[in-house]
Amino acid sequence: MAPYEKQHLIAAISFELDHCDDPIVYETYTKILNCIDYELARKVASNIGSAIPDKPESENHGKTSKSLSQLYYTPENSNIAERRVAILVEDGFNADEVKAVFSALSSAKARTFIIGPHRGEIRAEGDDRSSWEIKADHHFEGQRSTLFDALYIPSGRHISQLAKNGRAVQYVREAFGHCKAIGAAGVAIGFLRDTVDLPGVKFQDEDSSDVKTSYGVVTTGKLDAEAVAAGPLRIARDSKDFMGAFAYVISCHRCYEREMDGLTSRVAY
């Protein structure tokens, strides 16, 4: 199993045994775990307040099986087909960005959803009543971030409204805590850095058209909507364009480096 999978197993067993108030249950289970793996037993025992074994009950046989790890089932070619991506908006979002990103993700067979403060029409950036509108598929309270594989936050003056919306802030923090891919452009970078306050992440400068990927968070100061719309979308680790880099992070399923480096435990959600 991968290191993060072992950590998940320890956390899962510790969670369940924490619900057992009778010491006979968790002390006995610690002994059972010690027959399986010494380090597993020690770490679980430490979490649940059980007696920590000082030696293994039996030596681990040392055999391995690749199929025990989810990594064994990773597709050979990177793709984002059927991945669910949420685009977060308030009135005043950048319409060109949303159109381009929506189109690029859809071309790669990802499923894209608009999430806003309410279901229904959300108006794009612009002062006239003819400004482009989209319909939000769901609102922040209706569809949690845990139901999506990735989030994208476009630029636009809507960022000031998102920053005042505690549920929107929590939405992004929760996605970060669950190791989901996150993308942002322009002033949305400041939203992630200053309001959401993601720890340990390095962001691209808001006036730069270059792309930076840090712990599964992909940012660019200036998203070239025309170039994105022109396509085609190239999903690869070495992608220099925003959509290629963002799609690659989505294809990796989760950014478990956040978890292993202790970043997810620093975010309240």
Return d(Cα 112, Cα 227) in angstroms, integer. Answer: 19
Return d(Cα 140, Cα 142) in angstroms, integer. Answer: 6
What are the φ/ψ torsions at residue 6 (nearest 5 degrees)? -65, -40
Q: Do 122 and 249 belong together in one domain?
A: yes
Q: Do 15 and 136 belong together in one domain?
A: no
Please check whether residue 79 lies inside any domain of the structure: no
Please check whether residue 183 lies inside any domain of the structure: yes
List the CATH number of the domain containing 201.
Answer: 3.40.50.880
Q: Do 30 and 160 belong together in one domain?
A: no
Domain span holding position 47: 3-62
Per-residue confidence (pLDDT) for residue 269, from 0 to 100: 87
List the CATH number of the domain containing 53.
Answer: 1.20.1370.20
Q: Do 28 and 103 belong together in one domain?
A: no
Q: Do 97 and 229 belong together in one domain?
A: yes
**Predicted confidence (pLDDT) per residue in 140-198, tens digit:** 999 999 999 999 999 999 999 999 999 999 999 999 999 999 999 999 999 999 999 99
* 127 has pLDDT over 90: no
User: How many separate domains does the chain show?
Assistant: 2
Per-residue confidence (pLDDT) for residue 129, from 0 to 100: 54
